[in-house]
Structure 1
Amino acid sequence: MKDFKDKVVVITGGATGIGFAFAKAFGAGGAKIVIGALHENRLQEAIDKLAELGIEAKYTICDVTQPEQVEALADFSWNAFGHVDVIVNNAGTMLPPMPVIDTPLESVQSIFNVNFYGVWHGSSIFGKRLTEQGTPAAIYNIGSENSLFHGVPMGAAYVATKHAVLALTESLREEVPDFIEVGLVCPGFVRSELGPPEAMTMAMDTDRFVSIAMEQIKAGEFYIVSHAYNIERINARHDEIVKAYATYAPRYEGDDEFDVRSLMGRMQEAVDNA
């Protein structure tokens, strides 16, 4: 989707950080913005700042862990503007650093409720409505560099949520109609309110990150990336996997005999020819 003029863009967690930066960027392109987040005072502050920039925006309180509230966000958005063109599933959270064996299960469940199920709710609820609407649209899910490798020591729960968002978003891309674009946004270390303030002084400026991301969104890319050094981490993981396969599961003629996609394709072909 190259042109956002008069498009309606809904952003969860859009009152601060990356979400608010996306609100400014889409709004600068002529979009109308709806932001949903937990705290009304922060939402009002965001709307006021957007208004100062000449951006038309509305807000509603939304807890993405509650599907009925995500449904209400969709209702609010369609009622406010008559249509929706883009959903950015951005709301997220982090946990304090801790090893796997010491992380309370309730903490793991809590972060999954926001970072994964929140994205699932937004993808499913808005995806259904965008499909029914039948016009060009887009779903952008905020993953992380941690969707592609493990970048946070003692952060397994957070990293696991972002790996899960990758799987969800790749599946979604295959399943929605062609008129709905899907993208996975993979921020690296970007300034936000999620981490300690002293650490955030070393992070990439939020607006700089979003300007890099918007170029890729307009180009229709699926993997929306930013931090150049990430490729070193990705290559290290890829090389280790390639070495394992070359050593213990090397290619051979007919080796698609147990490949699930190949098998499913052959089974479907048999059904079609029956």
Structure 2
Amino acid sequence: MKNRTVVITGGATGIGFALARQFGADGARIMLAEPREHRLQEACEALKQMGAEASYNVCDVTDLDQVEALADHVWQTYGGCDVLINNAGVGSREKRLPDVPMEDAHHIMNVNFWGVWHGCRVFGERMKDQGTPAMIYNTGSENSFFCATNAAAYIASKHAVLGLTETFREQMPDFITVGLIIPGWVSTELTPGFEDVAMHADEFAGIIYPQILEGERFVVSHAYNTVRIDERMDALKDAYARYAPRHEGDEQYDVRHYIQRIRERGSI
């Protein structure tokens, strides 16, 4: 990563900052982005003390214009971007869906989902025009695959990030890697009070950093997550086995088969 440019939203604390330390130790130039300037200043100073090149840009990812301005600043400062980590996110307390204030639900979706959308939209197009190998990783959650908590808006936002990432991955050219970071229970400002229980952010970053460098589609950590994922997938497979089992010709109504046939005919 020497002399590569890495942009991390939500990079001043938690997982974002832990990843910044990994990239910085590997020689990357780090650009951190989030709304709290004092936290950005503290994070950049800490990175510089360890010998990394670091700078920041105040940015609210829910505002598309601010994300455009962030990209302008990155390209003006470094001439391009090699890695984008769409990491900015907010959490929520466990509440029944009817008890969640609508403004809270919209705020969570605005940051956790639309913030990721904005980053993909803005940086993805510029990376395509840049024409060099690049990476975009979005921070999802174990809650992208199952309900680890009872926080409806948060879980919905992380399920949405999974769908966005998988779709965006298929739309980007081969020289741009798109993947999903899947944290389990990690100790960050989103989970106060569990510092001695949840995995430390630096430990998590150490586990996932090599996977990012390898360009993995899914970047994983907490092994027990597979138990929860299997619970949902087993129930889904059981439903299909009982009510819609595979049979000859069952691809008739498969959308991807249909689109492929149309493409082979040259219609699209």
| Common fold: TM-score over 0.5 | yes
Q: Distance in 2 between matches of 1:63 and 1:164?
A: 20
Q: Distance in 1 between matches of 2:27 and 2:214?
A: 17
Match of 2:154 among 158, 179, 196: 158
Paired position in structure 1 for 2:235? 240
Say if 2:51 is the partner of 1:54.
yes
Query: Which runs of 5 or more residues in structure 1 are unaligned?
Result: none
Paired position in structure 2 for 1:103? 100
Paired position in structure 2 for 1:67? 64
Paired position in structure 1 for 2:30? 33
Name the SS for the 2:266 alignment partner. Answer: helix
CA deviations on 1:17-47 (whole Å, 9 max, x unpaired) are 0000111101111100000111111110001
Paired position in structure 2 for 1:251? 246
Range moving further from structure 2, 44-53 or 261-270:
261-270
Say if 2:114 is the partner of 1:117.
yes
Match of 1:205 among 180, 200, 204: 200
The within-5 A match list for 1:134-173 is 134-153=131-150, 155-173=151-169
Q: Distance in 2 between matches of 1:7 and 1:27?
A: 10
Name the SS for the 1:122 alignment partner. Answer: helix
Paired position in structure 1 for 2:130? 133
Q: Distance in 2 between matches of 1:84 and 1:265?
A: 33
Equivalenced residue count is 268
Q: Distance in 2 between matches of 1:75 and 1:167?
A: 27
Q: For the aligned residues, what is the CA RMSD?
A: 1.1
Identity of aligned residues (%): 53
Name the SS for the 1:140 alignment partner. Answer: strand
Q: Distance in 2 between matches of 1:221 and 1:89?
A: 16
Name the SS for the 1:34 alignment partner. Answer: strand
1:108 CA drift (Å)? 1.2
Q: Distance in 1 between matches of 2:226 and 2:39?
A: 35
Name the SS for the 1:139 alignment partner. Answer: strand
CA deviations on 1:77-132 (whole Å, 9 max, x unpaired) are 11111121111000000122111122122211110000000000001100000000
TM (norm. structure 2) is 0.98
1:272 CA drift (Å)? 5.0
Query: Which runs of 5 or more residues in structure 2 are unaligned?
Result: none
Paired letter, 1:193: E
Paired position in structure 2 for 1:185? 181
Match of 1:88 among 77, 80, 85: 85
CA deviations on 1:242-262 (whole Å, 9 max, x unpaired) are 100000111110001111111
CA deviations on 1:188-229 (whole Å, 9 max, x unpaired) are 000100123x22321101111001111111222110000010
Name the SS for the 1:200 alignment partner. Answer: coil
Q: Distance in 1 between matches of 2:194 and 2:96?
A: 20
